[in-house]
């Protein structure tokens, strides 16, 4: 995998198995209801595509792109919309699909923003969560893996826009990011 990566934290097989498990729960929760998956660009592209294909029930999909104001790699909690949803979610069952919850600030803002649009329901599914990095408490209905606060890349997650296309989640060697 090259010298930039230190280790595989979550393998492709582990991701596939977890998505199957989550998909079964999501299918059961929304049985008989119309579900809209909202992916948060760009990181959630992989998990959105794979989760959607693992669900048995039909869903629709929409995307948001948001950017956090502030320096460096840290989320500030002040978010601006780069691309809004194409659809009106009023009265719809909405599931936000995320790759990772770090500080939780992005999601906290998203939940408040989308919640104000009066969806019938609003839940969150994330592949990864860093419990030790949480700055705000968020009610997340479905979590794939709780992971340590390490610099992770792959399966949608980037460092300087690289590594998103790795089929697994790995930790980056400290020499790459100057850690």
User: In the complex, which residues of this chain contact ligand PRP (CB under 6 A)?
Assistant: 40-43, 68, 75, 98-107, 158
Compare residues 49 and 57 and give the one whose CB is closer to ligand PRP. 49
Write down the least CB distance from residue 149 to ligand PRP, Å.
11
50 labelled catalytic:
no
Compare residues 42 and 117 and give the one whose CB is closer to ligand PRP. 42
Write down the least CB distance from residue 94 to ligand PRP, Å.
16
Of the listed 86, 102, 132, 158, which one is catalytic?
102
- How far is the C-alpha of 131 from the C-alpha of 98, rounded, in Å? 15
- Distant-in-sequence contacts of 22-27, Cβ < 8 A, 24+ apart: 22/51, 22/54, 22/125, 22/142, 22/144, 23/51, 23/54, 23/55, 23/56, 25/142, 26/51, 26/55, 26/95, 26/125, 26/142, 27/55, 27/56, 27/57
Compare residues 100 and 147 and give the one whose CB is closer to ligand PRP. 100
If DSSP codes are grouped into helix, strand and coil, which group holds residue 132?
helix
Write down the least CB distance from residue 22 to ligand PRP, Å.
17
Active-site residues, by number, are: 102
């Amino acid at each position: 995998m090259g010298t930039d990566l230190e280790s595989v934290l979550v393998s492709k097989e582990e991701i596939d198995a977890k998505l199957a498990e989550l998909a079964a729960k999501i299918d059961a929760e929304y049985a008989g209801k119309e579900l809209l998956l909202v992916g948060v660009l760009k990181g959630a592209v992989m998990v959105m595509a794979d989760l959607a294909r693992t669900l048995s029930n039909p869903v629709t999909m929409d995307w948001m792109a948001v950017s956090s104001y502030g320096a460096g790699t840290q989320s500030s909690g002040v978010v601006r919309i780069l691309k809004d949803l194409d659809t009106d979610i009023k009265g719809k069952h909405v599931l936000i699909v995320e790759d990772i919850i770090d500080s939780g600030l992005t999601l906290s803002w998203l939940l408040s923003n989308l919640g104000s649009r009066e969806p019938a329901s609003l839940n969150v599914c994330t592949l990864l969560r860093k419990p030790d990095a949480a700055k705000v408490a968020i009610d997340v209905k479905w979590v794939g893996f709780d992971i340590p606060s390490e610099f992770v890349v792959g399966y949608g997650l980037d460092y300087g826009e690289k590594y998103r296309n790795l089929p697994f989640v790995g930790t980056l060697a400290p020499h790459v990011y100057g850690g």
